[in-house]
Amino acid sequence: MDEREKRVPYLQLPSLQAYVRIEQARPEVVVDRRTPEGWKSERVSGLDAVVRLPELGIELPLGELFERVTFHEPRR
């Protein structure tokens, strides 16, 4: 199923507080968070970055999350 098809139903779940998407081609994570004003997106990039998920009481360093991933340069 395509990411766009998955995202909408998940964001409609009343108990969901955060929806996390992990990129495969680059060290990047996108977090959609429920706020009183609606959903807000946060993009965290780079191997030195840290994704903070207070909803779960954890922090994920991208360097550790992508530790065994080899990134390839895009073809030109």
All structural domains of the chain with their residue ranges: 3-65
Give the pLDDT score at 73.
Answer: 74
pTM listed for this prediction:
0.84
Question: Whose CA is closest to 32, among 46, 24, 22?
Answer: 22
Question: Whose CA is closest to 11, among 22, 1, 21?
Answer: 21
First to last CA, the chain: 28
For range 13-38, the mean pLDDT: 94
What is d(CA 67, CA 56) in angstroms, rounded to the nearest whole number?
22
For range 14-31, the mean pLDDT: 93
